[in-house]
Each structure stands twice: as structure tokens, then as C-alpha cells.
């Protein structure tokens, strides 16, 4: 049945304005809910973490994440290299060895010898926080490997820290038998991710102290809350503007 002029006249200007405002308000609320869901989902996602030995090179003052694996890198005489066992996502947040790379101090009692090279090594098994269940990390130690001039970093490590354990992809799994089992296993985050590549990018970030734990709280971050607040403020402003135009 068609509407009569009387039916149209029965709708007041205020009711017509409210009807016009209702549609954009519903769309706005839907957009706010969708945006909040996206932001909350991004904040609750947990990055994958892996437990493994990372490989480092000393530059005289600081540590840099190695760009080649220990089986490929052939260090020069006087080089300082480090190994750190910890849980990290990738090279960007990996923990450095907790001792400065000082060749003179580490190799002070190992005199130079013709036909041999000296490689100073810092071997840091990390903290109990990163240790596998049922294992206790041994103490951090240093060693001065005196090896053939063409020896790789892996050969220098094997000269002072046997037994070493590798997996099928030649990833270093254990130094001096620690840890007893496991190799680059995922310990947090979403399942199905690949093991960390060894090594990757370089980093100059400072390492965490012994026993220090990263902030792994599951609550939303400050940035997430600010983002949600900004979306809500935009929504409120749109509503106010729409009412002023009535």
C-alpha cells in the first residue's frame, strides 16, 4: 500500500533528522568495533621465541651478531668471538654474551706460536630463565683457542669446548654438552613457525643482565591503548559534528 500525504505529514522534522542520523551512526559504531578488534588482535599476538646458541663477533669494544655461521667463518689471529644461549625471536632481540670482547685478557696466558693463530672465545650459557626444563646452565667461561691458520670458528670452539652437538642443518645445538637435548626449539608464540636462521642481521643492542627477564605481559601496550583512544575520539567528534548539522 502506498503512503498518503497524510502519512508523510505525520513524520516530524526531528524524527526525519534522527532517521538521517541513525544510518551514519550505525556505520560509525560498526567501524569502531572493527578497528578495536584489529588493534586488540595486534596487541595480543605473541611473537615466536626460540631457544638456541647465537654467534657473535667482537669489534674491539662491542659485540655484533655474526653474519656467517661458525662452520663457515674463518677468523683471523687476534679475533674475539662469543656464543650466547638464550631465548629470542631473531638476531634483532638476541641476548649478547655478558662479558666484553677483550682479546688481551682472554689470551694473556697463551703466547703466540708460529704456524698457529689464537682466537679468544666467550662462552655464555645464559640464565636459568632461558634454560630448558630440568637443566641448569653452567657458568660463563672464556678460552683461548690456538688452532691452524685456516681453522674455522667451529674448529676453534671444538678445540676448547667439546663435546659440540649439531642438527642435520648444521645448526649449533650444544656446547660442552649443554643443553643435553633440543635444538632451536620454539618456546613461545604461534606454532608452525620455522626455527631461527643462524646467523642473520647484525645488532648493537645491549644485552640483559643475568636473571633479568623481558617484559612478557599479556596486557595491551600503551601504544595499543592510545590507538583505541584515538579511534574513539574520532567517533565522538563525528557524532558531535553530525548533531550540529541538524
Alpha helices in 109-165 (DSSP H): 153-160
User: What per-residue confidence (pLDDT) applies to 203?
Assistant: 35
C-alpha cell at 246: 541538524
Q: How far apart are CA 124 and CA 33, in angstroms?
A: 48
**Total residue length of the chain:** 246
Overall average pLDDT of the 170-181 stretch: 96
Distances (CA, A) of 219 to 23, 179, 215, 246: 34, 32, 11, 41
pLDDT beyond 60 at 223: no
Mean pLDDT is highest, among 14-28, 47-61, 168-182, 198-212, for: 168-182
Bridge partners, 121 (sequence order): 81, 143
Q: Using N-to-C axis directions, what is the helix angle for 222-244 and 13-44, rounded to 10°?
A: 170
Of the candidates 45, 142, 140, 160, the residue with the CA atom closest to the CA atom of residue 86: 140
Name the pLDDT band for 188 (thresholds 50, 70, 90).
Answer: confident
DSSP conformation class of 72:
T
For the chain, counts of helices (H) and of strands (E): 5, 8
Query: What radius of gyration, in Å, describes the C-alpha atoms of the chain?
Result: 30
Overall average pLDDT of the 111-133 stretch: 97
Q: Which residue has the cell 632461558?
A: 130
pLDDT beyond 50 at 201: no
Burial of 178 (0-12, 13-18, 19+ CB in 10 A): buried
pLDDT beyond 70 at 85: yes
pTM greater than the 0.75 cutoff: no
Q: Which residue has the higher pLDDT, 63 or 203?
A: 63
pLDDT beyond 50 at 210: no
Bridge partners, 81 (sequence order): 57, 121
Of the candidates 240, 245, 227, 239, the residue with the CA atom closest to the CA atom of residue 27: 239
pLDDT beyond 70 at 181: yes
pLDDT beyond 80 at 94: yes
Of the candidates 214, 191, 197, 56, the residue with the CA atom closest to the CA atom of residue 127: 214
User: What per-residue confidence (pLDDT) applies to 92?
Assistant: 86
Amino acid at each position: 500500500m502506498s503512503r498518503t500525504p497524510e502519512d508523510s505529514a505525520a513524520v516530524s522534522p526531528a524524527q526525519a533528522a534522527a532517521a538521517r542520523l541513525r544510518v551514519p551512526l550505525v556505520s560509525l559504531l560498526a567501524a569502531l568495533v572493527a578497528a578495536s578488534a584489529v588493534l586488540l588482535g595486534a596487541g595480543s599476538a605473541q611473537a615466536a621465541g626460540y631457544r638456541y646458541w647465537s654467534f657473535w663477533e667482537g669489534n674491539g669494544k662491542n659485540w655484533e651478531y655474526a653474519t656467517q655461521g661458525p662452520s663457515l667463518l674463518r677468523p683471523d689471529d687476534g679475533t674475539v668471538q662469543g656464543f650466547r644461549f638464550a631465548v629470542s625471536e631473531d638476531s634483532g632481540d638476541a641476548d649478547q654474551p655478558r662479558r666484553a670482547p677483550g682479546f688481551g685478557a682472554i689470551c694473556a696466558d697463551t703466547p703466540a706460536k708460529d704456524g698457529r693463530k689464537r682466537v679468544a672465545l666467550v662462552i655464555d650459557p645464559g640464565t636459568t630463565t632461558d634454560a630448558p626444563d630440568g637443566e641448569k646452565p653452567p657458568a660463563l667461561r672464556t678460552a683461548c683457542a690456538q688452532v691452524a691458520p685456516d681453522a674455522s670458528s667451529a674448529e676453534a670452539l671444538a678445540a676448547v669446548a667439546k663435546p659440540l652437538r649439531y642438527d642435520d642443518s648444521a645448526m649449533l645445538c650444544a656446547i660442552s654438552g649443554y643443553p643435553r637435548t633440543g635444538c632451536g626449539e620454539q618456546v613461545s608464540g604461534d606454532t608452525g613457525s620455522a626455527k631461527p636462521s643462524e646467523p642473520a642481521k647484525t645488532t648493537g643492542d645491549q644485552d640483559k643482565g643475568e636473571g633479568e627477564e623481558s617484559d612478557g605481559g599479556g596486557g595491551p601496550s600503551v601504544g595499543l591503548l592510545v590507538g583505541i583512544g584515538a579511534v574513539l575520539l574520532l567517533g565522538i567528534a563525528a557524532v558531535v559534528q553530525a548533531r550540529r548539522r541538524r
